[in-house]
A and B are shown apart, each in its own frame.
Chain A
């Protein structure tokens, strides 16, 4: 175990140097290239916001079921089934039939039927069919639900990205979690209130006329004002124009009234629709509605044909900017709820870094001093391995651009404390071997050999814990498992290559002298 070939020594030194290069690349700027790899600081160290959003799929599932209900009614008519009752309740479509039970079930079971739109593609039904007496219950199958959720999530994440990007946040990280969650990480942001309120809005914009008479063909609905829930207006359910037709929106100043307004531009279809409606409705009040709340309901003074218009309201420049941003980014397919939020201010982050580094330095010095006290010269060798260990650990974290968190720093300190264990095991074993073996070289060699399985067993158990933590843990805790796990690997490397190399060089040089350990 003590012999090293030249080529081995060179490889060890080379590998160590290459990895440590990346350790120091954290402190120098090489510009944007492959050699510039830095450890990322976690949100708990650099400050920032972590938001977990959950898509509320209920409305969209109900909406899909409504559409399906209409399809089914049509199909029932076409096939002349005798259905006594058809209803939708609690996300279940119920068909009641006395005579055509089998025929209807067969119709829904049929893979080629248009009621199973994606059977040919995915070999799966959209609905689960259960049958109790004369009732047939249709419920979205698990697969059907997953498809809806995934489609909604894809749309939602796109809108979230647009809104966050539009705010000009610094390097945001937006990723899917499961099939109904979006994780938004916003480094450096210490006040997420604005982004939260922007993400919390569906931003469904519609233009609807305020009803003049009770008998409106499309029916009426009573809506309240955004800024004053006590004030309300009865508006027609007919939607003149929706946000889909909007191509741009920005805040602006109305020169005549000196009010802040939001100016918008419409696409061709939108312009046409808007022009027609406004020319017919001169003198009527047109309500501008966002998420079922009226922003304002100005009276149309003349037809608006150019395809652009403005939204008035009691805006400040800030609220007008936000509204314009929401309109530009488009409506979310479903409401989003913030189910987890963690925000760390930049000051606390800096304090944490300071405390982390201080405890790392002190912990390191304590361990190093103890090792020198305990093993003298061999303590120095163990300490050399320990320093290399630290440099390699940080280097590897940099190469993979891993995220360092506060618990991650704790993991590094813990690695310092536990890394010497392998060398201690070896040294203690060598002590025992020296008692029974006269030849120093043999004693050292068997000390290394005999302690090897123990060291492997001991480190693998800790590695198992780290791996499990990596897969089950979240956020900062994951950072801990990364440093702990990588730390075990660098420990084994430094103990078996660095420390052993120095030990062997020393022993071979002094084989005839008295060696104390």
Chain B
């Protein structure tokens, strides 16, 4: 394969990444994330109507009449499935779901099925949010330590910056598109962390190898050689992973949509960042043959 001079685009991609990160942070701070019931608390009901004549506004009318707080009704993937969400902070009744079922039955008869009910209390949702944040923080820390042990601190910094880049931008896109953040998104983000790390480690391994092999090539060109040598692997693995994820996204049903979308974004940015974020950091931090020799001793 012909050598591609990746570092030619370094400056423009650097700016591109920084701009994306800043936009993402701005969105996360100003607009915030659209938390689902897992993290916000409240109730979620998924219903399926067997009667094509029941429209989303019919359902909205019925639920709005029930004096529930913050009701939102959305269609869920097709014309017959709907998701209804509402707040439950002020509901003292333990049987409110039963009451809702009775009300719905009164309006639509037997043509509506309750497929899923989730009700998360405020205490549980804040615990789930906390443990989600801890899990992501912990995984970043564990990666940092692992790379530090296996490589040098400069590599550690580069890898963490690359992961941070992927996670922030993925979350930023979720914020822009108002996509729901739930427990499975946390799982997706942790997997993105693992995947992005995986990609970065492969290139870093090659950089380290090449530092030992070529005593006279500067790190700037060395990263370019390393990226090229591993490029076909990077692309092939991204493709197979994306094929699997696309299959989940298209055929895996509505529940896995957000999860697979987050993963797809993560894989795309993870691949990009291991080339244009993780390697340039090594150059910035003046990694040289000496860094590795020191490690050998």
Task: Using CB atoms and an 8 Å cutoff, list the residues of chain A in contact with chain B.
Answer: 44, 52, 54, 193, 196-197, 200, 337-345, 347-348, 351-352, 355-356, 358-360, 362-363, 366-367, 370-371, 374, 406-407, 409-410, 413-414, 416-418, 420-421, 424-425, 428, 432, 453-454, 457-466, 468-469, 472-477, 480-481, 484
Contacts of B118 in A (CB 8 A): 341-343
Candidates A348, A409, A461; contact of B194 at CB < 8 Å: A461
Contacts of B197 in A (CB 8 A): 458, 461-462, 465
CA distance A348 to B115 in the complex (A): 6
Contacts of B6 in A (CB 8 A): none
Candidates B101, B114, B251; contact of A362 at CB < 8 Å: B251
Candidates A367, A458, A461, A480; contact of B187 at CB < 8 Å: A480
- Residue-wise interface mask of B (237-251) relative to A, using a CB-CB cutoff of 8 A (1 in contact, 0 not): 101111111111011
Contact between B195 and A418, CB atoms less than 8 A apart: yes
Known: A410-B252, A413-B248. A474 touches B128 (CB 8 A): yes
Candidates B121, B194, B244; contact of A462 at CB < 8 Å: B194
Known: A367-B243, A416-B244, A420-B237. A344 touches B116 (CB 8 A): yes
Contact between B205 and A339, CB atoms less than 8 A apart: no
Min CB–CB distance B126 → chain A (angstroms)? 11
B39 proximal to A (CB < 8 A): no
CA distance A414 to B186 in the complex (A): 16
Known: A355-B251, A355-B253, A474-B128. A418 touches B241 (CB 8 A): yes
Min CB–CB distance B95 → chain A (angstroms)? 6
Contacts of A418 in B (CB 8 A): 195, 198, 237, 240-241, 244
CA distance A463 to B193 in the complex (A): 11
B34 proximal to A (CB < 8 A): no
CA distance A421 to B240 in the complex (A): 8
Contact between B252 and A424, CB atoms less than 8 A apart: no
Candidates B48, B117, B132, B134; contact of A343 at CB < 8 Å: B117
Min CB–CB distance B206 → chain A (angstroms)? 8
Contact between B124 and A52, CB atoms less than 8 A apart: yes
CA distance A348 to B114 in the complex (A): 9
Candidates A337, A366, A475; contact of B183 at CB < 8 Å: A475
Known: A345-B116, A362-B247, A432-B229. A468 touches B255 (CB 8 A): no
Q: Give the segment of B21-29, B137-145, B169-177, B283-291 that binds chain A.
A: B137-145
CA distance A486 to B114 in the complex (A): 34
Q: List 15 A-B contacts (CB under 8 A).
A: A54-B123, A339-B120, A339-B123, A342-B119, A345-B113, A410-B256, A417-B244, A418-B244, A425-B233, A432-B229, A461-B146, A465-B191, A469-B139, A474-B183, A484-B191
Candidates A351, A360, A370, A465; contact of B190 at CB < 8 Å: A465
Contact between A464 and B245, CB atoms less than 8 A apart: no
Contacts of A338 in B (CB 8 A): 94, 119, 121
Contacts of A413 in B (CB 8 A): 244-245, 247-248, 252
Contact between A414 and B191, CB atoms less than 8 A apart: yes
Contact between B124 and A339, CB atoms less than 8 A apart: yes
Min CB–CB distance B135 → chain A (angstroms)? 4
Contact between A464 and B128, CB atoms less than 8 A apart: no
Known: A454-B201, A464-B142. A363 touches B243 (CB 8 A): yes
Candidates B48, B113, B119, B205; contact of A453 at CB < 8 Å: B205
Chain B residue nearest to A348 (CB atoms) is: B115
Contact between A197 and B116, CB atoms less than 8 A apart: no
CA distance A475 to B184 in the complex (A): 10
Contact between A352 and B251, CB atoms less than 8 A apart: no
Known: A410-B252, A461-B198, A464-B143. A472 touches B184 (CB 8 A): no
CA distance A343 to B101 in the complex (A): 14
Contacts of A371 in B (CB 8 A): 240
B71 proximal to A (CB < 8 A): no
Contacts of B143 in A (CB 8 A): 461, 464
Total count of chain B residues near the partner, CB < 8 A: 70
Chain B residue nearest to A194 (CB atoms) is: B98
Candidates A196, A352, A414, A474; contact of B245 at CB < 8 Å: A414
Chain B residue nearest to A455 (CB atoms) is: B202
Min CB–CB distance A341 → chain B (angstroms)? 4
Candidates A193, A362, A410, A472; contact of B135 at CB < 8 Å: A472
Contact between B243 and A472, CB atoms less than 8 A apart: no
Contacts of B128 in A (CB 8 A): 474
Contact between B187 and A343, CB atoms less than 8 A apart: no
Min CB–CB distance B137 → chain A (angstroms)? 10
CA distance A488 to B62 in the complex (A): 49
Contact between A460 and B183, CB atoms less than 8 A apart: no
Contact between B116 and A469, CB atoms less than 8 A apart: no
B232 proximal to A (CB < 8 A): yes
B46 proximal to A (CB < 8 A): yes
CA distance A410 to B261 in the complex (A): 12
CA distance A425 to B202 in the complex (A): 9
Chain A residue nearest to B94 (CB atoms) is: A200
Contacts of A477 in B (CB 8 A): 183-184, 186-187
B82 proximal to A (CB < 8 A): no
Chain B residue nearest to A386 (CB atoms) is: B240
CA distance A54 to B120 in the complex (A): 13
CA distance A420 to B244 in the complex (A): 11
Contact between A465 and B205, CB atoms less than 8 A apart: no
Candidates A52, A410, A420, A466; contact of B240 at CB < 8 Å: A420
CA distance A417 to B119 in the complex (A): 34
Chain B residue nearest to A201 (CB atoms) is: B94
Min CB–CB distance A473 → chain B (angstroms)? 6
Contacts of A459 in B (CB 8 A): 198
Question: Which of A342, A343, A355, A477 has its CB near the most chain B CB atoms (within 10 A)?
Answer: A477
B150 proximal to A (CB < 8 A): yes
CA distance A189 to B174 in the complex (A): 34
Candidates A200, A342, A469; contact of B117 at CB < 8 Å: A342
- Residue-wise interface mask of B (187-218) relative to A, using a CB-CB cutoff of 8 A (1 in contact, 0 not): 10011011101110110011000000000000
Contacts of B236 in A (CB 8 A): 374, 420, 424, 428
Chain B residue nearest to A426 (CB atoms) is: B233
Closest 5 CB pairs of A and B: A417-B244, A363-B247, A465-B194, A355-B253, A472-B135
Contacts of B191 in A (CB 8 A): 414, 462, 465, 484
B260 proximal to A (CB < 8 A): yes
CA distance A197 to B99 in the complex (A): 13
Contacts of A466 in B (CB 8 A): 190, 194
